[in-house]
Amino acid sequence: MSRETLLKAVNEVFWDVFDDESLDIREETTAADVNGWDSLRHITLIENIEDRFDIRFTMLEVNGMKNVGEMLDIIAERARE
């Protein structure tokens, strides 16, 4: 799966979780950039990403993600496994 395809799929998850199809999620997007991205929404987002890509993040990975690009790195890595 290409990086662009991954980002598009992640965007769709964001749209569902935040109920906002106007969101334009980019690799550099952080929680501070998205209205309503609090700790509870973060957990929901992670669960939905895991379900969408059939992966599981470790707690260390979840705590270490600083932006969407880092999330994409992990998803891409898992897709190769």
State the Cα angle at 58 between 28 and 60, rounded to 5°: 65
Q: Which residues span the domain enclosing 37?
A: 3-80
Torsion of CA 30, 56, 54, 79, to 10 degrees: 80
**Cβ neighbours of 51 (radius 10 Å):** 11
**What CATH number corresponds to the domain at position 60?**
1.10.1200.10
pLDDT, the chain, mean: 96
What's the pLDDT tens digit per position in 69-80?
Answer: 999 999 999 887
Q: Helices 39-53 & 68-80, crossing angle to 10 degrees?
A: 30
Number of compact structural domains in the chain: 1
pLDDT of residue 51: 97
Q: What is the mean pLDDT of residues 36-63?
A: 96
**pLDDT band at residue 41, thresholds of 50, 70 and 90?**
very high
